[in-house]
Amino acid sequence: MDETRPVKIKVRGLSKVFGKHPQKAIELSNQGMKRPEILEKTGQTLGLSDISFDVYEGELLVIMGLSGSGKSTLIRCLNRLIETTEGEIVIDGENIPTLKEKALLECRRRHFSMVFQNFALFPHRTVQQNAEFGLEIRGVEKAERHKIAHDSLKQVGLEGWEDAYPNQLSGGMQQRVGLARALANDATVLLMDEAFSALDPLIRKDMQQELLQLQSKMQKTTVFITHDLDEALNIGDRIVLLKDGEVVQIGTPEEILTKPADDYVRRFIEGVDRSRILTAESAMRPLRTTARESDGPRTALHRMRDHTIDSIYVVDRDRRLLGLLEVDAASRAIEEGADSIIPYLTQDFRKVPMDEPLHNLFAMFSEKSFPIAVIDKQEQLLGVVVKGAVLDELARAGEQ
Amino acid sequence: MEIPRIPLGDWIESGLTWLTSEYSLVTRGISRFTQTGIDFLNDSLMWLPEWALLGLIALLCWKLAGVRLAIGAVAGLALIWNLDLWNPMIETLTLVVFATMVAVVIALPVGIAAALSNRLYRVIMPILDFMQTMPAFVYLIPAIPFFGIGSVSAIFATVIFSMPPAIRFTTLGIRQVPVELIEAADAYGATRGQKLFKVQLPLSLPTVMAGINQTIMLALSMVVIAAMIGADGLGSEVWRAIQRLRPGDGFEAGIAVVILAMLLDRLTQSLRKTR
């Protein structure tokens, strides 16, 4: 984890008690008592207990837990839809739990957009008017907010639906409106509360992909709640794992899978943890194209262009792997008038045998983004593994 | 041991007497103001020739509810005209319209306040129960010392009797707005006012309209009863028929009330549906 990245939201010692005598519950909690005992002794429900984590600028942080883990409470504490009992939530120097009413409204308008599980669209407003809502609340002038909302609807692929009402749209489209409403608002943080959980699995995958694409374009700080490990692994830069109102582990998807903090996490990822019997072969994809040793730089470059890739594996006549040619190197070879690409190859990539356990592959990706080459005993190139495929494969195993 | 009878009636009476003497200026002011309003509305409606008003109402029905109600309106109103009950019908309509306006103007803010404050809700609901279950005639008695015999007393009693549904439905409508929509409004930093006018009120409008429809119906029934304290209109026709034992006349006026009731009901319901 990179500790030097700028922190957008700092959460420290956050606790939430549901009930009339929160202080009693906090005391017991500080003495190390857990949720069920506290409920029995005081009648107070400890929703969140001493939660601390950071949300870095521009990252997509997933907060994951099963129902009752406190994840919905936690996201609502961030913009204070639920009052906190103890602790700090600092965003750009402002401590949210202590803000006065007016400052709180200001803070919500400036910093938070929210997407809800059941969409929470306003049925009496058109798609366009729904997308404009946040701007309207902030008092943005009519013509301007119209344009911004229109743009964000276009961004989520709803152009032409501006005058429809929410009940005329399918679930997936409704959630796009929800997303457009959040994007139009251009707040600094996007809160997504089980945003895709109400959608059916295929549409859900699509929405996850689209979110990732939007995210790579906009780099918006996002806090995403889910109960679905598959989803968390798929989209999260980092994952905060909650259980019974406490943080169990914080880490990247790879860290959670490879270094589970305790038995709970281990059980949680048990299905997924078949990675230990999954191998590189299962996640491998055939190569779309390779270059031959006899190819000149122009041919190699041409192949890369054809397949819109920026590096290509080079093999000899027996498909033995010789090296990797990057697009820059190919250009350089052309400039220098070289006939052969062999001197321009790099060996700075990873190759693994077919039976390499899948979980070992995670660490390799963090260095360079080239696909990992999979070879057999004769050094022949069989295929490649890309990062997403590893996670997909693990997640699929988890579902079985 | 004999338990003395609690002089509840005496207390109420002395209270009312105190109110009338203490606030006679106020009640007289209200009385004059209301009477002027009623007279103006009445005179305007009567100034129009029968066929013109009939045509206007038919047009309104056609626009709002369709051609079937328009035909029904023409037939019904023509019958009333034919039975020589046109002017009493106008007087009754005036009282209903006026009483409903006053009731709604009071009921909307009260209903909204009760929806937003739990404490107020707990205070207001039993009062509404009281207002609705108290036999309607009872309101007529104190109305007379306050406002004298006639239309103003009728309006006073009618407003009290017909207001509860408008308050109740407004409260209900606002409370029925789904929590997640309130949450969405909050999450985007809406103030209370913005939440009320952009989310809660628009979403509760159909329910509020249902309440207003109920208020109109109750107002109509009360206005007829108010003939007993000298309110003009169809009610006084019925009253006269009772005193003279003329069932035919009574039914004629009664049918006119039914026609008016159906017209008002269908019209306000169509208002609700077009939303």
Would you give the DSSP letter of residue B226? G
Specify whether A75 is located in the same domain as A174: yes
Residues on chain B touching A109 (C-beta within 8 angstroms): 188-189
pLDDT of residue B275: 45
The whole-number average pLDDT for the span A300-306 is: 85
Specify whether A221 is located in the same domain as A247: yes
pLDDT of residue A125: 94
Residue A301 buriedness (CB in 10 A; 0-12 / 13-18 / 19+): buried
Specify whether A329 is located in the same domain as A391: yes
Cβ atoms of residues A229 and A66 within 8 Å: no
Report the CATH number that the domain containing residue A107 is assigned in CATH. Answer: 3.40.50.300
Q: Which amino acid belongs to residue B198? A: K
User: Which of B177, B188, B194 to substitute to test the interface with A, most A CBs within 10 Å?
Assistant: B188
Specify whether A334 is located in the same domain as A261: no
User: Which of A99, A104, A133, A190 to substitute to test the interface with B, most B CBs within 10 Å?
Assistant: A133
Stronger pLDDT, A291 or A136, i.e. the higher one: A136
Would you give the DSSP letter of residue B27? H
* pLDDT, averaged across chain A: 86
Instruction: Count CB-CB contacts under 10 A for residue A346.
Output: 12
Specify whether A314 is located in the same domain as A353: yes
In the sheet where A45-56 sits, what is the strand order? A45-56, A7-18, A86-91, A94-95
Q: Which residue from B216, B246, B240, B217 is spatially nearest to B228, judged by alpha carbons?
A: B240
pLDDT of residue A400: 47
Give the relative orientation of helices B8-22 and B136-147 as an angle to the nearest 10 degrees. Answer: 40
pLDDT of residue A367: 56
Beta-carbon separation of A137 and B199 below 8 A: no
pLDDT of residue B50: 87
- What is the band of A394 on the pLDDT scale with cuts at 50, 70, 90? low
Specify whether A266 is located in the same domain as A294: no
pLDDT of residue A39: 86
pLDDT of residue A276: 47
Residue A27 lies in a domain: no
On the question of pLDDT at A56 being above 90, the answer is yes
pLDDT of residue A298: 86
The whole-number average pLDDT for the span A193-214 is: 87
Domain boundary among A244, A271, A298: A271
pLDDT, tens only, A111-134: 999 999 999 999 999 999 999 999
The fold of B11-47+83-273 is: MetI-like fold (1.10.3720)
Instruction: Count CB-CB contacts under 10 A for residue B86.
Output: 17
In the sheet where A381-385 sits, what is the strand order? A351-353, A372-375, A381-385
Residue A42 lies in a domain: no
Q: Does B187 touch chain A (CB under 8 A)?
A: yes
Specify whether A192 is located in the same domain as A236: yes
Q: Does A112 touch chain B (CB under 8 A)?
A: yes
Residue A265 lies in a domain: yes
Q: Does B201 touch chain A (CB under 8 A)?
A: no
Q: What is the pLDDT along chain B (275 residues), one digit of tens a residue?
A: 788 888 888 998 898 888 888 888 888 888 888 888 888 988 888 888 888 999 999 999 998 888 899 999 999 999 999 999 999 999 999 999 999 999 999 999 999 999 999 999 999 999 999 888 888 888 888 888 888 888 888 898 899 999 999 999 999 999 999 999 999 999 999 999 999 999 999 999 999 999 999 999 999 998 888 888 888 899 999 999 999 999 999 999 999 999 999 999 998 888 776 54
Residue B184 buriedness (CB in 10 A; 0-12 / 13-18 / 19+): buried
On the question of pLDDT at A14 being above 90, the answer is yes
The whole-number average pLDDT for the span A7-12 is: 93
The whole-angstrom separation of Cα B273 and Cα A131 is 26
Residue A322 lies in a domain: yes
A157: CB partners within 8 A, 6+ apart: A176, A210
Domain boundary among A271, A296, A322: A271
The whole-angstrom separation of Cα A252 and Cα A232 is 10
Q: Which residue from A255, A265, A267, A266 is spatially nearest to A359, judged by alpha carbons?
A: A255
Structure tokens at B17: 């007497």
Please give the residue of chain B at the shortest CA–CA distance from A78: B187
Domain boundary among A208, A238, A271: A271
pLDDT of residue A397: 60
Beta-carbon separation of A108 and B186 below 8 A: yes
Cβ atoms of residues A60 and A235 within 8 Å: yes
- What is the band of A395 on the pLDDT scale with cuts at 50, 70, 90? low
The whole-number average pLDDT for the span A245-261 is: 86
The whole-angstrom separation of Cα B9 and Cα B41 is 38
Strands A94-95 and A45-56: unpaired
On the question of pLDDT at A67 being above 80, the answer is yes
pLDDT of residue B126: 93
Which 3-state string (H, E, C) describes chain A?
Answer: CCCCCCEEEEEEEEEEEECCCHHHHHHHHHCCCCHHHHHHHHCCEEEEEEEEEEEECCCEEEEECCCCCCHHHHHHHHCCCCCCCEEEEEECCEEHHHCCHHHHHHHHHHHEEEECCCCCCCCCCCHHHHHHHHHHHCCCCHHHHHHHHHHHHHHCCCCCCCCCCHHHCCHHHHHHHHHHHHHHHCCCEEEEECCCCCCCHHHHHHHHHHHHHHHHHHCCEEEEEECCHHHHHHHCCEEEEEECCEEEEEECHHHHHHCCCCHHHHHHCCCHHHHHCCEHHHHCECCCCCEECCCCHHHHHHHHHHCCCCEEEEECCCCEEEEEEEHHHHHHHHHCCCCCCHHHCECCCCEEECCCEHHHHHHHHCCCCCCEEEECCCCEEEEEECHHHHHHHHHHHHHC
Q: Which residues pair with A249 in a beta bridge?
A: A241
Residue A133 lies in a domain: yes
Specify whether A370 is located in the same domain as A313: yes
- What is the band of A1 on the pLDDT scale with cuts at 50, 70, 90? very low
Q: Does B202 touch chain A (CB under 8 A)?
A: yes
Distances from the Cα of A357 to the Cαs of A273, A282, A378, B52, in angstroms? 11, 10, 19, 91
Report the CATH number that the domain containing residue A347 is assigned in CATH. Answer: 3.10.580.10
Q: Which residues pair with A192 in a beta bridge?
A: A115, A224
- What is the band of A396 on the pLDDT scale with cuts at 50, 70, 90? low
pLDDT, tens only, A18-50: 988 888 888 888 888 888 888 888 888 888 989
The whole-number average pLDDT for the span A46-63 is: 92
Specify whether A176 is located in the same domain as A231: yes
Beta-carbon separation of A106 and B183 below 8 A: no
Comparing A192-196, A277-281, A295-299, B121-125, the range with the smallest average pLDDT is A277-281
Q: Which residue from A337, A338, A344, A290 is spatially nearest to A318, judged by alpha carbons?
A: A290
What is the span of the domain harbouring residue A128? 57-81+100-271
State percent of chain A over pLDDT 90.
38
Domain positions in chain B: 11-47+83-273
CB within 8 Å of chain B, chain A residues 21-80: 79
Cβ atoms of residues A272 and A400 within 8 Å: no
Number of domains chain A is built from:
2
Distances from the Cα of A341 to the Cαs of A129, A209, A308, A315, A344, in angstroms? 58, 36, 19, 11, 5
Structure tokens at A181: 């409403």
Most confident stretch, A253-262, A359-368, B201-210: B201-210
Q: Which residues pair with A351 in a beta bridge?
A: A373
Comparing A198-207, A363-372, B40-49, the range with the smallest average pLDDT is A363-372
Specify whether A232 is located in the same domain as A302: no
Beta-carbon separation of A133 and B189 below 8 A: no
Specify whether A180 is located in the same domain as A124: yes
Please give the residue of chain B at the shortest CA–CA distance from A181: B188
Specify whether A131 is located in the same domain as A262: yes
The whole-angstrom separation of Cα A256 and Cα A335 is 46
Cβ atoms of residues B161 and B133 within 8 Å: no
The whole-angstrom separation of Cα A240 and Cα B41 is 69
